[in-house]
């Protein structure tokens, strides 16, 4: 029954490492473009300015918008695969989640209603980010954005001690609750949610062979529960395939195209 170790994680970590290295390369000023010009959320922040005056806000440009469109189409096909296979912040969050193993035998996982309520906070972050960006025409919340703070090295737009406090809270949060930022605060994740729910590629459970051992949920970075459903439609599934890696029964969890 015990199947061989799946190489998917190493494939995924390799791709994530490449994207992290590319972002770092751009952040160090080696490329022609700023690392920020590849952030899909910049596309969201551009929409109002483009609609009203036909101009991009601040440092944003057409690449932000076109990458946003690319990843939204991706979400319609493969849910939040961008988060699990490309996002540098998601990767750092996942590495942080691995570090939590040093502090916790079993990391605390807010469950049930608490978890669901906390996940709504990212919609508040999304609305606030867009409201202030549209109102001011500037990326005034970049001082609280871990992507900007980490890769710019607290560059122009950071808010000194306030930015340090926010980043410290996010790091401590990541060491207590796995994927803290992605789960509860990421406005890009909130943008993906309605698209991700429609995603065609899903984790599908075979009820006849599944032993309900819960190993899949224990390994899921997002603490989702594939063992509780037949098709994992949850909008937070990043298709990282950790659940399939963890499953001791061959074929009990599979990657399928299904409505």
CA–CA separation, 156 and 138 (whole Å): 12
Residue nearer to another protein on the CB measure, 92 or 177: 92
Task: Tell me which of 20, 27, 44, 68 binds another protein, using CB under 8 A.
Answer: 68
Task: Tell me which of 20, 26, 34, 144 binds another protein, using CB under 8 A.
Answer: 34
Cβ(246)–Cβ(210) under 8 Å? no
Q: Does the protein bind another protein through residue 74 (CB under 8 A)?
A: yes
Q: Does the protein bind another protein through residue 244 (CB under 8 A)?
A: yes
Burial class (CB in 10 A: 0-12, 13-18, 19+), 221: buried
Q: Does the protein bind another protein through residue 143 (CB under 8 A)?
A: no
CA–CA separation, 231 and 69 (whole Å): 26
Q: Does the protein bind another protein through residue 205 (CB under 8 A)?
A: no
Cβ(191)–Cβ(126) under 8 Å? yes
For the CB of residue 40, give the shortest distance to another protein in the complex, in Å: 8
Q: Binders of another protein: how many residues, by CB under 8 A?
A: 46
For the CB of residue 33, give the shortest distance to another protein in the complex, in Å: 6
Task: Tell me which of 52, 62, 162, 228 binds another protein, using CB under 8 A.
Answer: 62
Q: Does the protein bind another protein through residue 6 (CB under 8 A)?
A: yes
Q: Does the protein bind another protein through residue 50 (CB under 8 A)?
A: yes
User: Beta-carbon neighbour count of residue 236 at 10 Å?
Assistant: 22
For the CB of residue 45, give the shortest distance to another protein in the complex, in Å: 13
CA–CA separation, 257 and 259 (whole Å): 7
Q: Where are the alpha helices (DSSP H) in 153-256?
A: 161-176, 180-184, 187-197, 215-219, 242-246
């Amino acid at each position: 029954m015990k199947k061989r170790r799946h190489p998917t994680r190493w494939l995924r970590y390799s791709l994530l490492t490449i994207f992290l290295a590319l972002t770092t390369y751009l952040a160090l000023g080696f490329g022609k473009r700023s690392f920020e010009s590849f952030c899909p959320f910049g596309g969201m922040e551009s929409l109002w300015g483009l609609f009203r005056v036909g101009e991009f806000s601040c440092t944003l440009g057409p690449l932000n918008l076109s990458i946003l469109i690319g990843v939204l189409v991706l979400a319609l096909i493969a849910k939040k695969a961008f988060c699990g296979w490309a996002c540098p912040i998601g990767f750092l969050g996942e590495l942080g989640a691995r570090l939590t193993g040093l502090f916790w035998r079993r990391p605390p996982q807010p469950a049930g209603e608490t978890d669901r309520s906390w996940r709504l906070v990212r919609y508040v972050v999304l609305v606030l980010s867009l409201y202030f960006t549209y109102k001011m025409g500037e990326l005034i919340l970049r001082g609280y954005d871990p992507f900007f703070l980490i890769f710019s090295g607290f560059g122009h737009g950071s808010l000194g001690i306030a930015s340090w406090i926010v980043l410290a809270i996010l790091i401590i949060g990541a060491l207590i609750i796995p994927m803290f930022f992605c789960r509860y605060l990421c406005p890009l994740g909130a943008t993906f949610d309605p698209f991700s729910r429609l995603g065609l590629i899903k984790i599908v459970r075979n009820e006849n062979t599944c032993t309900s051992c819960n190993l899949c949920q224990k390994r899921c970075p997002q603490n989702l529960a594939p063992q509780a459903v037949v098709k994992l439609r949850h909008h937070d599934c990043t298709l990282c395939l950790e659940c399939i890696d963890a499953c001791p029964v061959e074929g009990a969890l599979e990657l399928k195209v299904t409505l």
